[in-house]
Amino acid sequence: MPTFTALTTLTERSQAEALGEKLESLDPAPTGVGVFEMEDGSDLSEVGAYFIEAPDEVALAVLAAAYGAKPFVVSELPETDWVAHVRRELHPVEAGRFFVYGSHDAEAVPEGRVALLIEAAMAFGTGHHGTTQGCLEALERLIQAGHEKRNAVDIGCGTAVLALAAAKTWGQPVLASDIDAVAVEVALANVAANGEAGRVACVEAAGFDHPALGKAAPYDLIFANILKGPLIELAPDVAAHLGTGGHVILSGLLNAQAGDVIAAYEAEGLRLEHRAEIGDWTTLTLIR
């Protein structure tokens, strides 16, 4: 079955979100809509929709004009089993003691490693991206420094790889949240596959906007591997939910964006403890 994408960009985040919401009322309706901050430092937002029928290009043009977006680029995608394709291409990732692998590499897990089974699926964070790897390496540094975290949360958890890493390291309950319902489903599946269903709880929420997240605060470790804009917006909430002496591990930002994120968190009373770059991506560790 052919599938189609319709992509556009615009400068105003609020307009992008409104356009994304409006796309859902099209006929034929898209099977999925996403609004993302571009990761190239342009401060543009990308709005994308996926269709199993050819979209109404006239309606798309009208919406683009109404919301001040560039004209939609519509493409027909080849019939490809993308999950199977990705599984073939992905190899295990090692970050300190952590070994992230798919089930197709189960026989490759070395002795003595913290094994994290993460399947390729419709959620971010398989461990292969520099941001996820950077977070795992930041976690490794905390462990090597002798820190023991008893109350951790993973905001924007994607596949829940970071929540699982914390749970397997210290054996303590960990909360995980994501704004995307599909990501939460994927996270729950990964939690079950790793035998951590009794320890890692996943909820659908924007930032800390869920009763369970507020009730469990203050945290001594907060992960947030998302994007520059949401990281800056989250700074006050992160600070409000972090206990004294607690650490924050942030990623999802380009190297050139790190300074703005550091400034936002320092303004909330946190101090930069470590900064690391993997390719174009930066991971920050801050402490209260």
**No. of H helices and E strands in the chain?**
9, 14
Which pLDDT score is estimated for 85? 45
Same domain, 32 and 162: no
HSE-CB at 29 with a 13 A cutoff on CA atoms is 6
Same domain, 176 and 68: no
Same domain, 35 and 145: no
**Amino acid, res. 230:** P
Coil vs helix vs strand at 184: helix
Query: 45, 77, 109 — which closes off a domain?
Result: 77
99 and 115 in contact (C-beta within 8 Å)? Answer: yes
CATH number at residue 248: 3.40.50.150
Burial of 234 (0-12, 13-18, 19+ CB in 10 A): buried
Same domain, 128 and 67: no
Which pLDDT score is estimated for 123? 47
In 25-121 the beta strands, taken as DSSP E runs, fall at 32-37, 45-51, 73-77, 93-95, 98-101, 114-117
Which pLDDT score is estimated for 82? 47
* Predicted TM-score (pTM) of this structure: 0.71
The DSSP 8-state label assigned to residue 55 in this structure reads: -
Same domain, 152 and 274: yes
Tell me the pairing of strands 200-204 and 174-178: parallel
Coil vs helix vs strand at 50: strand
Would you write out the chain's pLDDT as a tens digit for each of its 288 residues? 678 999 999 998 889 989 999 998 999 999 888 888 876 667 889 999 989 899 999 999 999 999 999 999 999 876 655 455 445 445 677 888 999 888 777 777 888 899 999 875 544 555 556 788 999 999 999 999 999 999 999 999 988 999 999 999 999 999 999 998 888 998 999 999 999 999 999 999 999 999 999 999 999 999 999 888 899 999 999 999 999 999 999 998 889 999 999 999 999 999 999 999 998 899 999 999
Q: Specify if 83 maps to a domain.
A: no
Which pLDDT score is estimated for 34? 86
Q: Specify if 106 maps to a domain.
A: no
CATH number at residue 30: 3.30.70.260
Same domain, 228 and 171: yes
* Gap between the Cα atoms of 265 and 66, Å rounded: 36
Total count of domains within the chain: 2
